[in-house]
A and B are shown apart, each in its own frame.
Chain A
Amino acid sequence: MAGHKHPSYLKIYFILLVLFVVSVAGPEVAEIFGMEGVSRTILVLVTAFGIALWKAYLVCAYFMHLKFEKIYAPYILLACLSLLLVFFFGTATDAMFSNGHNWVKPYSEEAAAEEAKSRSHGGHDDHGDDHSGDHHEEGDHDGDAHHDGEDKDSH
């Protein structure tokens, strides 16, 4: 695609970096200000996933030159994305419910959450890169649980 004028790649890159910082900072801000419920969900959705879409657009349009490519290439990609949406919404009608005609999903979300908490060490972010020290002592009481049982999901 030598026929078109290249955009300023560095400019696009710095925009991508700023968006990346915002996407990481958004959920942290929600955590710091103790946001809960709908406001937290909206902030995380917008900063993490809304910005991910924006970043993907910038990479597609300018780094992959999709903006300057013949129209067939976007058609190929949009056709595949459409098929994906058919798959998603086609399966979601069943997958999003816990029962239907002649079937019930034998699954307890509360039990699964408890099980997940029992093997959780409080998150990597809490103990950063230091995986060798205190967390082992803290995790010893449940360490056996996730090694022995390997926590079969009940669904």
Chain B
Amino acid sequence: MAHEIIATGRSRTGIPTGRLAVWWVIGSEILIFGGLISCYLLNRFNHGPSWSVEAANTNTFIGACNTFWLLTSSLFVVFAHAASEKHDAKKTRIWIWLTILLGGFFMGFKTYEYTTEIQHGFTLFTSNFWSFYYTATGLHGFHVVCGMVIMGIIAENDIKHERNWHRVENIGLYWHFVDIIWIFLFPLMYIAK
């Protein structure tokens, strides 16, 4: 359903309204994930020996592959943004769909990882470490899925009809933030053992 956009440039900050809203979303997400990571760090400092034994059971190879998918998808989404600035709908859609594909790889690997962890008896309720592991990576995975869905909508609803080009940059900002969260979760959960 098409609608008239009435508030794209009224912000007193000089930042277009949509992009400013995304910065505020990212600010609030910093507090959500930051709170979670802070609790993790406090526990890790306090219960070093037991938590490092638990962390030794996470799969570094899968974590590293997922880091690679997200870093590469971040590159693809800036290519999509660059193409959208030139109003090149075809290229923009291609880069967006490639980003979604890598998001799919990430979720596929994550699903495999969860399955093997659970098969080994490491569930959400096994210990505090695993509670943090599933909560943090699960919440992050949820953000990845949300990003993929929104990108799909932007590609097919907006860019295909050559309108609302600014949305590519907005979803790109969100996607980069999701990548940054993983950049911190990866060493916390998979490397520091």
Closest to B121 in A: A146
Q: Are A96 and B116 interface neighbours, CB within 8 A?
A: no
CB of B57 within 8 A of CB of A124, answer yes
Chain B proximity mask over A118-153: 1 for CB below 8 Å, otherwise 0? 011111110011010001000100010011001101
Contact across chains for B191 and A23 when beta carbons are under 8 A apart: yes
Interface of B is mostly: helix
Residue-by-residue, is A87-131 near B (CB-CB < 8 Å gives 1, otherwise 0)?
110011001100000000001011011011101111111001101
Residue of A nearest to B179 (CB): A59
From known contacts A80-B31, A91-B42, infer whether A44 and B191 are also in contact, taking CB-CB under 8 Å: yes
Knowing A80-B31, A84-B35 are in contact, say whether A10-B183 is a contact too (CB < 8 A): no
A sample of 16 more A-B contacts (CB under 8 A), given A17-B71, A49-B187, A84-B31, is: A9-B75, A13-B72, A13-B74, A44-B192, A63-B75, A73-B20, A77-B27, A84-B35, A87-B38, A88-B42, A109-B47, A109-B49, A112-B127, A117-B53, A124-B57, A153-B128
**Are A123 and B13 CB-contacts (below 8 A) given A16-B71, A27-B193?**
no
Given A64-B173, A73-B15: A131 touches B127 (CB 8 Å cut-off): no
Is A35's CB within 8 Å of the partner chain B?
no
Cα distance, A26 to B186, chains bound together (Å) = 14
**A64 x B176 contact (CB < 8 A):** yes
CB of B191 within 8 A of CB of A27, answer yes
Type the 1/0 row for B35-69, where 1 means its CB is closer than 8 Å to any CB of A.
Answer: 10010011001111111011011111110100110
Decide if A120 touches B15 in the complex (CB within 8 Å): no
Q: Chain B residue with minimal CB distance to A83?
A: B31
A sample of 15 cross-chain residue pairs with beta-carbon separation below 8 angstroms, ordered by A number, consists of A1-B169, A2-B85, A10-B75, A17-B68, A23-B191, A44-B191, A48-B187, A49-B192, A59-B176, A72-B23, A77-B26, A84-B34, A109-B47, A112-B49, A153-B127
Query: Which chain B residues have a beta carbon within 8 Å of chain A's beta carbons?
Result: 13-15, 20, 23-24, 26-28, 30-31, 34-35, 38, 41-42, 45-51, 53-54, 56-62, 64, 67-68, 71-72, 74-75, 77-79, 82, 85, 116, 119-123, 125-129, 169, 172-173, 176-177, 179-180, 183-184, 186-187, 191-193
Q: CB-CB < 8 A to B126: which residues of A?
A: 119, 146, 150-151
A64-B176, A70-B14 known; A151 vs B127 contact (CB < 8 Å)? yes
Shortest C-beta distance, B31 to chain A (Å), equals 6
A116 B191 Cβ-Cβ under 8 A: no
Which of A23, A26, A113, A147 contacts B53 (CB under 8 A)? A113
| B-binding residues in A (CB < 8 A) | 1-2, 6, 9-10, 13, 16-17, 20, 23-24, 26-27, 44, 48-49, 52, 55-56, 59-60, 63-64, 69-70, 72-73, 76-77, 79-81, 83-84, 87-88, 91-92, 95-96, 107, 109-110, 112-113, 115-117, 119-125, 128-129, 131, 135, 139, 143, 146-147, 150-151, 153
